[in-house]
Amino acid sequence: MSRARLIDPHELDRMIRDAAPLTVLDVRWRLDRPDGRADYEEGHVPTAVYVSLDDELAAHGAPEDGRHPLPEIADLQTAARRWGIDKGHTVVVYDDWQTFGASRAWWVLTDAGVPDVRVLDGGLQAWRDAGLPLESGTVHAARGDVSLTPRHLTRLDIDEAAALPATGILFDVRAPERYRGEVEPIDPRAGHIPGAVNAPTGGNVDEHGRFRSAEELRARYEALGVTGDTTVGVSCGSGVSAAQAAFALSLAGVDAALYGGSWSQWSNHPDRPVATGDQP
């Protein structure tokens, strides 16, 4: 697995000013506001191209596929070239909400063979806090020439996700109340995959939204049962916040398989069992 990489605002600013071979992607997305284009147009990192997570980092299928199925490689390549990614480019991704959108972009592009994808640590707020400038409007990049190939990272299908708790650890990274089945605002059933262990994404970042150190992340996941030979998978609502967990685990030196369908797929299959409460 390609190891996760962070970039700080000042390093990114230098690369932009030096006209380095670089593509910057703004992946603003929230559950309550999935289209971040208006916010992007109001102010974004200079040179950044807007990416629609729902339309370009996900496919569209039946409910049984989940809310954000992983995109087909041909569709992703078309989008990546529109964003201006050339062969050999460093790609920097950011968002303004818990690094969810940026991590999804990191996972999808790394899985497609882009060798150098970095996440802006702390997102847009870190850029602002550093006193760096924003630009408004829309950036239309020159068409890129990147060639993508699939399956560079490990993923889980629904049967593999069901089987993993018997041999490894499947983390459910949603909020505890959704994991326990106390609330379910989006998907048709409440609860979690039997055997999944709750590890909310908030534990991966500090109060400023920056990722915790590799040592802190390693200690966190060791406390949750991960050892050097543990097979690890990550699941969430629809495969978005789980990408943030996969990124954090990679920072800690742990390869984690992404269950892209996640709870939105599982809960749409009435034959699949559901667990509730605090216990896996």
Catalytic residues: 236
Give the distance from CA 184 to its chain's centroid: 21
CA distance 166 to 187: 25
Burial 116-150 (b: 16+ CB within 10 A, else e): ebbbbbbbbbbbbeeeeeeeeeebebeebebebeb
Task: Give 135's Cβ-side CA count (13 Å radius).
Answer: 13
Pairing outcome for strands 90-94 and 22-26: parallel
Quick check: 143 and 212 in contact, CB under 8 A? no
Separation of alpha carbons 254 and 32, rounded Å: 31
